[in-house]
Chains A and B, each alone.
Chain A
Amino acid sequence: MAGDFKISVDGREVTAHEGETILQVLRREEVETPTLCYHDNLTPAKACRACVVELKGSRALVASCERKAEAGMEIQTESERVVNARRGVFELLLSQNDTETAPNLVAQAQRIGADPEHYSGLRYERPLYDDNPLFVRDYEKCILCYRCVEACGVDAQNTFALTVSGRGFEAGIAAGWGETMPDSACVFCGNCVAVCPTGAIMDRREHQMRVQGRYDESQMQVTQTTCSYCGVGCQLELHVDQRTNEIVKVTSPETHPVTFGFLCVKGRYGYSFTEAGRE
């Protein structure tokens, strides 16, 4: 195909397409690559460094999610430096965060042999923000992946209610002027919830069920439907608790050509009419 070229991955020659990132090539070639901040529909934040690879000629390792493949690149994904760096990233996060609602992070950490006890020291100690009826923010779970800021900003919503604030270990996500969600510019689309990889921002209903010990993933049944509010045609996934026949949360598939996983406040949270008349 025009625009195709070869790169070398772990000594094996593979084909890359013009404009592809290294990560895209690795995924197609089924080279397992851990990722945390990367999201298919958002600008790569290259912040977590879980996906780093060794690129010949580059002094430091490079983030495969961001770096475009170029003809002739020689990439190592299993070198000692790569293995050590990736494990280090997970070990550092495990030493900092509450990972209770981040099964994906924990599974990847286990797969690469990260030791949760490797580092000790100050953990994130941050307040829980339960300041609105729709979602809860628990920043002890936040790994600062930038996804929510990007989704709230130019990548999807253009609302600009969220920012990264502070610096260093004190850096974190803030709403508006470091205030409650209702005081900020938030329109409660919940797209920050949709992209959060660790459950740091979580729909309030799910959060409450978890607190009460009622949340059971195996009892969730997903029903596909189309949003009934307007003519755009957003596809919805209703996550229904089979035990109570109650909608716990609403999402949209990230691959859906209309939504790319993003919804508005009505689509994501406007479902209480389905419960009308219930006890």
Chain B
Amino acid sequence: MELEASIRARVREIIASRPGKDRAQLLEVLHEVQGAFQSVPRVAAEEIEREMGVPVTDTYGVVTFYDLLTDKPTGRTVLRICEDVTCHLHGSSELVAAAERSLGPEGEPSADGSISWTRCACLGLCDQAPAAHLGGEPLAPCTPAFVEKAGARHV
């Protein structure tokens, strides 16, 4: 209950920091919520409905539409591994294999909640393939050794 109240308070702060409460602020608000809680929980959507008038179910539709937003918890840091054409030519499947080995199943946070990993679409780092993102920042070229190191540090 306390946790829920603190989430609601934080969501209200995020909304208040925007220039308006119109629906056009929604995507930015959701980015902030995702950043704060590693997912967009239902209570956040309830608060968004109360403050901004966006129905809970509409927020659900939006959250499930975008790859960078999730309704399911992720790790505090997310490792995203590009699997598109250029990165595939440069061995992205080895990165994926390393992640499966050292970080566990795709999308599932580690036991301490510090990290999760996922495959993703082209990150626009093809000149540095194989590319990955760690916590939203570029990590390219990425190596299986790095993925394993990330695993060793976090799991």
Contacts and interface: CB of A to CB of B under 8 A. Distances in A.
Interface in A172-186: 174-178, 184-185
A161 interface: yes
Most buried by B among A165, A167, A184: A165
Q: Is the interface of A mostly helix, strand, loop or mixed?
A: loop
Interface string A162-201: 1111110000001111100000110000000000000000
A174 to B, nearest CB: 6
A176 B60 CA distance: 7
A177 B57 contact: yes
Contacts of B58: 160, 163
Interface residues of A, number: 15
B65 A167 contact: yes
A161 B57 contact: yes
B50 interface: no
B48 to A, nearest CB: 12
Contacts of A166: 64-65
B65 A177 contact: no
A165 B56 contact: no
Contacts of A164: 61
Contacts of B45: 177
A162 B55 CA distance: 10
A166 to B, nearest CB: 5
A177 B61 contact: no
B155 to A, nearest CB: 29
A184 B58 CA distance: 12
B55 A177 contact: no
A166 B55 CA distance: 17
B57 to A, nearest CB: 4
B64 A167 contact: yes
B101 interface: no
Given A167-B65, A177-B42, A177-B45, A160 B60 contact: no
Contacts of B61: 163-165, 174
Interface string A90-101: 000000000000
11 contacts: A162-B57, A163-B57, A163-B60, A165-B61, A167-B64, A174-B60, A175-B57, A176-B57, A177-B42, A178-B60, A185-B56
Interface of B: 42, 45, 55-58, 60-61, 64-65, 71
